[in-house]
Structure 1
Amino acid sequence: MKFRVFDTTLRDGEQTPGVSLTPSEKLEIAKHLDELGVDVIEAGSAITSKGEREAIKLIVKENLNAEICSFVRALPVDIDAALECEVDSVHLVVPSSDIHIKYKLKKPKEEVLDSAIKAVEYAKDHGLIVELSAEDATRADINFLIKLFKEGEKVKADRVCVCDTVGVLTPQKSQELFKKICEEISLPVSVHCHNDFGLAVANTCSALISGAQQCHVTINGIGERAGNAALEEVVCAMKFLYGYDTNIKLEKLYEVSRVVARLMNLPVPPNKAIVGDNAFAHEAGIHVDGLIKNTKTYEPISPEIVGNKRRIILGKHSGRKALKYKLELMGIKVSEEELNRIYEKIKTLGDLGKYITDHDLMVIVNEVLGRATEEKIKLDELTVVSGNKITPIASVKLHYKGENITLIETAYGVGPVDAAINAVKKALSGVADIKLEEYKVNAIGGGTDALVEVSIKLRKGTDIVEVKKSDSDIIRASINAVMEGINLLI
């Protein structure tokens, strides 16, 4: 069995509070979605703004493999805006519940039905693929819902969609509803679920096993309020738990997840299923012992399948075997006596409530082995210029010992710290693609001369390091943390 994936990251996902993408950012995400293998990309709502239309046009001009779609209301002006962008299809959404019709539209049901059918006809007459979507369908009268879809079928709508707009569906009700609709309607049926009660993925899966042929999803489950059904969760659950296939390239899931998170400034929670950094992370000694013997003991699928990575986390719950396994993964060889000393230091820190980062482990290892941390990349010079009515600019000079070359670069930023970090990243762009995942600052003490503690999380591919540095100068603390993290990653 196989189902289609309709991705609405660029429409419903962008409606996440606080998120607004530029046309170039939308295009970048669309390219990644196309490489991922989604069947339909809902690129936005063309009527929204000039910038939205510009973004949709850029995506259309890219000639991607995916069908490019625009959200529209049952209004000719909306459809005209979509036609201007030359999209392949429209997601034509019609309110269908009594509460939406009575309080939002304030129109009789027959008038709503009539305008919906005329809009479908108008879109079809202009050569568009039409997905007729019933908004708030899970609170609608089932007879009206079926009538809407049957009338749409008569005027050549291509697909219909049942929207659980406020997330009130349950898996059992989803199964019953989609079985009935799929029996009554001969057109392909889509499911669009929201996550208000945390059931979006479960409801989507229930719909798919009950006859729905397409699901509406977003990367990382982003969207209005509590979000939408997460693409990576639906696709993986359907494949590994139910045996359904898609065109999705699973190994690209983690990568696309991070692209969306970065461009939308919405960090992925560590415990997020499939693509979270803790999705395949293990600390407990019993678990790690099982992994060493057979990874299937504590992993339902291999992390590499979805482009993620197995992580061994050290803390007070870790055993010696976990530490030894972690050191082996890092390519560090130690004697039994040295292993015991490292283990005791980790236990002590763990009992103090300390989370042992890779940086902490390297400090402990170097201390036990009596060696200094090797600096492969050294900061020789840093100059930052900032002030009133001056765009912050920074220049750096780095020495890369590995290739015995000097790297010099200049970059602007929204502030002096941003400019300095941008300059370092720019200088290293030909050496290593380092991404700043997280940046936090805490003041230690009071007064204008107080120490600041900078915490950063850097990423290179699927490798992550966390570093903390303190200094009275926030720029120096930030750059020292970045440089140490870079050296750990490289």
Structure 2
Amino acid sequence: MSLNPRRIQLMDTTLRDGEQTQGVAFTPTEKVSIAKALLQNLRVDRIEVASARVSEGEKEAVRNINQWAQQEGFGDRVEVLGFVDHTRSVDWIKSTGGQVINLLAKGSEKHCREQLGKTLEQHCADVLQTIGYAHEQGLKINIYLEDWSNGYKDSRDYVFGLIDRLKDAPLSHFMLPDTLGVMAPDEVFASFSDMCGRYPNLQFDFHPHNDYGLATANVMAAVRAGVSAVHCTINCLGERAGNASLAEVAVVLRDKMNMELAIDESHLVRISNMVENFSGKRIADNAPIVGADVFTQTAGIHADGDQKGGLYKTKLGPERFSRTRSYALGKMSGKASLKKNLEQLEVELSEEDQKKVLARIVALGDSKQTITTDDLPFIIADVLESKSYQHIKLLACSVNSGLDLQSTVSLRVEVNGDKHQATGAGNGGFDAFIDAIGTVLVKYDYTLPKLADFEIRIPKGGNTNALTECVITWDCGHELRKTRGVHVNQVFAAMLATIKLINIQLHEMANTNP
């Protein structure tokens, strides 16, 4: 085994193949933002940003990306999918300032015969004609062999005949896709070993899909067989079950295969969040690397092991991805889970008080309640009858809303023992509440942070009278904080979540400025 790690390129196709996800369409501005983050921050080797001739909006986005990329020295790393249409795709790409075309050829005899109605020789003549024109125009050319996985399985002679006719053309990468995600790792390894052994002087890319949930495993097999580049997307975006996850692939190649990659892992979560917001496609909380819960220990025995010697920590640590480890509070919590959260809050409790607080946490967990670290001060305050986190109390509140009318709120609050009344108006009851509470809090030199996310949930299968849980994520500048409120009325649940945040921050202000 070589002591020097092998270099593998990662090509991100979120902006092209990822946009083929059902319901996903990035605006030109969003495309530029994602492209910049991929190349400048995450440092992927190449990005595929669009398909040629799709729309004027697509052309505007590609033109803007290319203009920025050329200024920053990334021009030859921005690629566009083009078609075997002689001049049309090439001219479209040139008009956007592009430098690279990824030409889509037919990688299976069935596609060539039934979709195009052509023989291998006729198709190759058309491909070479487009390649010749692209080369004359100064473009770098890569080639996709569409549906190569089925093409290789059904007729290797066709695949070999296609490559034999194209191998001497000015092509940089031969990109072999598992277009329908039908391959398993042993099939990938056998077929790529054959391709790499038969054509040792060609650079092969692997473009996997995840229909069987095998995309990352298939990437490992392809890399073992000798491919030089792998195609991925952020958050597994892509048609049907999506493409290979860039986060998963990058970490697996580094940790499990000792491959050298260019990317900066510390930006994986940030760009995952950006793509999640722009695409509208939420990722699972337990998604590897980027999921909200993947660095949260739930079982008390795990927290205990970490407390006593990092027994449940691995190479896959949160700090590597600019994240932190957390310890969930619920019915499976133990004393160590509570201690870890108390350390985070810089709160000290006696052993007896810890037992009382833990009993309340377990009881809440048994009732299916979600408990966050931000809830802990209130549980502590309730259990110990402490007033330290009761800086503000909502004593009374009335909300009036009407169709096509502004909502109004009248409220009465107590802040540090002083009672205040206030009214507010806004676009809905919660907006009116924020207006009203703001007129009180300004007297205490406090301004609510902006909302980063706002979720309303009821239990699955719940009735119309079910409790409503409101979880608000607040952008507190240096960090994001979540608070939760529960009430039968969703507006009041949001108000309670807001009061929780105000209490936490007023308490911090009091400790900072005693």
User: TM-score interval w.r.t. the shorter chain?
Assistant: 0.7 to 0.9
Give TM-score, length-normalised by structure 1. 0.85
Amino acid at match of 1:116: V
**Deviation readout 1:29-66 (Å, 9 max, x if unpaired):** 11111211011111111311100111111111113454
Q: Which residue of 1 aligns with 2:234?
A: 219
The one of 487, 500, 507 equivalent to 1:484 is: 500
Q: Which residue of 1 aligns with 2:487?
A: 470
Quick one: distance in 2 between partners of 1:172 and 1:191?
15
Is the counterpart of residue 148 in structure 1 residue 162 in structure 2?
A: yes
Matches for 1:28-107 after TM superposition, within 5 Å = 28-34=33-39, 35-63=41-69, 64-66=72-74, 67-75=77-85, 76-107=87-118
Which has the greater radius of gyration? 2
Q: Which residue of 2 aligns with 1:270?
A: 285
**Deviation readout 1:80-109 (Å, 9 max, x if unpaired):** 211111112111112222332344333323
* Secondary structure in 2 matching 1:272: coil
* Secondary structure in 1 matching 2:216: helix
1:178·1:207 contact (CA, 8 Å) conserved in 2?
yes
* Secondary structure in 2 matching 1:156: coil
Q: Which residue of 2 aligns with 1:326?
A: 341
Give TM-score, length-normalised by structure 2. 0.81
The one of 170, 193, 203 equivalent to 1:188 is: 203
Quick one: distance in 1 between partners of 2:485 and 2:500?
9
Runs of at least 5 residues in structure 1 that lack an aligned partner in the other structure: 396-400, 402-409
2:400·2:408 contact (CA, 8 Å) conserved in 1?
yes
Deviation, structure 1 residue 482: 4.4
Amino acid at match of 1:78: S
1:275·1:308 contact (CA, 8 Å) conserved in 2?
no
Quick check: 287-296 or 463-472, which moved more?
A: 463-472
Amino acid at match of 1:436: D
CA distance change for structure 1 residues 304 and 384 in 2, over 3 Å: closer, same or farther? farther
Amino acid at match of 2:252: A
* Secondary structure in 2 matching 1:43: strand
Quick one: distance in 2 between partners of 1:486 and 1:212?
54
Q: How many residues align?
A: 471
Deviation, structure 1 residue 451: 8.2
Is the counterpart of residue 366 in structure 1 residue 381 in structure 2?
A: yes
Matches for 1:333-352 after TM superposition, within 5 Å = 333-352=348-367
* Secondary structure in 1 matching 2:167: helix
Q: Which residue of 1 aligns with 2:274?
A: 259
Q: Which residue of 2 aligns with 1:11?
A: 16
2:451·2:473 contact (CA, 8 Å) conserved in 1?
yes
CA distance change for structure 1 residues 422 and 229 in 2, over 3 Å: closer, same or farther? farther
Q: Which residue of 2 aligns with 1:119?
A: 130
Please tell me the root mean square deviation across aligned C-alpha atoms, in Å. 3.7
Q: Which residue of 2 aligns with 1:292?
A: 307
The one of 219, 227, 241 equivalent to 1:204 is: 219
Quick check: 336-345 or 151-160, which moved more?
A: 151-160
CA distance change for structure 1 residues 138 and 486 in 2, over 3 Å: closer, same or farther? farther
Quick one: distance in 2 between partners of 1:244 and 1:99?
36
Quick one: distance in 2 between partners of 1:326 and 1:281?
11
Deviation, structure 1 residue 282: 0.6
